[in-house]
Amino acid sequence: MTLRPLLTDSVKTQLMQLLRESHHIVICAHRSPDGDAIGSSTAWADYLRTLGKEVSVIMPTPAPDFLRWMPGFSSILHYNERRKSCDALICAADLVCCLDFNALSRLQEMAPALQAAKAKRLLIDHHLDPEEGIADVMISRPKASSTSELVFRLTYELGGFDAMTRSTAACIYCGMMTDTGAFTYASANPEIYIIIAMLLTKRINKDKIYRNVYNTQSEERLRFTGYMLYERMKFYASHRASILYFTREDIKRFKYKRGDSEGLVNMPLQVRGMRLSISLREDTERDIIRVSLRSVDDFPCNKMAEEYFHGGGHLNAAGGELPFPMSEAIKTAEKAIEDYKALLWPEQQ
């Protein structure tokens, strides 16, 4: 089995021309970047640099601490910390690559700088329904496991695989792994495992990458996890769903660091019969509740996120946000669970 082409001939021609004409390139991803945002951005930057391009990677806000080991992480600029220098780079760019987001609003404070820039834009993303006019060239593939998968496919089709380094391959693998829950969802396409096999030829240590992401937590994070599961988890067994919530006080008590809640929303799904888990977190910077949803089988997290939480995402993984306070957010989540009861018990219909 071989990889099917990602691009049509016409789009490939468009992309190659765009890259040929570009010399100063900025790569950006969504606010609060995750493993896929960081992995795809640093890997795409590595490929562009092999073409002789000058590349800067700018994120609206920092990524979680557990991703600090990733190659290229230290060179990423954060817009919320260095706005003036980031604005200058965006203004001077002749191409901006938008990775792992489908709407400029996902950049939040950084969005106006991109809107004002004269640079052409390239979108590489796997989320549903990209914003109209977001880019001059759009590579949007919602069926892909991750944006990192798309970056691998692009690099491969454009002839960059032989020159791909071990570090670049590690970034791509990490992005694919984190956006599929270590390949437990959104990863049924057999070609994903062909890509993994090809990445392994670059001598990546996939077991160490897994440990770096999932098994390097602090004592505070472990205690935080235990407290959340014991004190802040509510099960709705008659609906096969759960709600997990934590407040600013919880965050302060356990010396919460960015990323300490990573994967927490998945844990209630370990209970037999559960189909949906909702996590609610008080944001420390804005008066909002951040919402994460995870599901199994065919329960549509993305539809629930759109309808109740001003968000969206994928079938089994989605997110959104709600206004303060937490008590109202919990009521909204409970209403969503009740209204979706038929889909949580499809065998009874």
pTM: 0.88
> What pLDDT does 211 receive?
95
pLDDT of residue 348: 61
User: What crossing angle do the helices spanning 190-200 and 147-157 adopt, rounded to 10°?
Assistant: 70
pLDDT digits (tens, 9 = 90+) for 61-89: 999 989 999 999 999 999 999 999 999 99
pLDDT tens digit sequence for 328-343: 999 999 999 999 999 9
Whole-angstrom distance, CA of residue 57 vs CA of residue 98: 10
d(CA 104, CA 98): 9
Measured between its terminal Cα atoms, the distance across the chain in Å is: 40
Q: Domains of the chain (ranges plus CATH)?
A: 9-213 (3.90.1640.10), 219-348 (3.10.310.30)
Q: Nearest Cα to 289, choosing from 319, 265, 259?
A: 319
Segment 133-187, tens digit of pLDDT: 999 999 999 999 999 999 999 999 999 999 999 999 999 999 999 999 899 888 9
The predicted structure's pLDDT at residue 232 = 95
The rounded mean pLDDT for the chain is: 94
Give 20-36 pLDDT, tens digit per residue.
Answer: 999 999 999 999 899 99
Q: Would you place residue 349 in the very low, low, confident or very high pLDDT band (cuts 50, 70, 90)?
A: low
User: How far apart are alpha carbons 19 and 34 in whole angstroms?
Assistant: 26
CA 294 – CA 302 distance, rounded (Å): 9
Give the pLDDT of residue 285.
82
- At residue 216 the predicted structure's pLDDT band, cuts being 50, 70 and 90, is confident
The structure tokens listed for 294 are 């995870």
How far is the C-alpha of 32 from the C-alpha of 189, rounded, in Å? 28
% of residues, the chain, pLDDT over 90: 87
As a residue count, the chain comes to: 349
- Going by C-alpha positions, the residue among 334, 337, 318 that lies closest to residue 326 is 334
Task: Kindly state the percentage of the chain with pLDDT values over 70.
Answer: 99
pLDDT band, residue 217 (cuts 50/70/90): confident
Q: What is the 3-state secondary structure (H, E, C) of the chain?
A: CCCCCCCCHHHHHHHHHHHHHCCEEEEECCCCCCHHHHHHHHHHHHHHHHCCCEEEEEECCCCCHHHCCCCCHHHCEECCCCHHHHHHHHHHCCEEEEECCCCHHHHHHHHHHHHHCCCEEEEEECCCCCCCCCCCEEEECCCCCCHHHHHHHHHHHCCCCCCCCHHHHHHHHHHHHHCCCCCCCCCCCHHHHHHHHHHHCCCCCHHHHHHHHHCCCCHHHHHHHHHHHHHCEEEEHHHCEEEEEECHHHHHHCCCCCCCCCCHHHHHHHCCCCCEEEEEEECCCCCEEEEEEEECCCCCHHHHHHHHCCCEECCCEEEEEEECCHHHHHHHHHHHHHHCHHHHCHHHC
Mean pLDDT of 244-261: 89
More confident position, 261 or 139: 139
Cα separation of 283 and 304, whole Å? 21
Closest CA to 292 of 272, 255, 318: 318
CA distance 135 to 87: 19
Mean pLDDT confidence for 243-263: 89
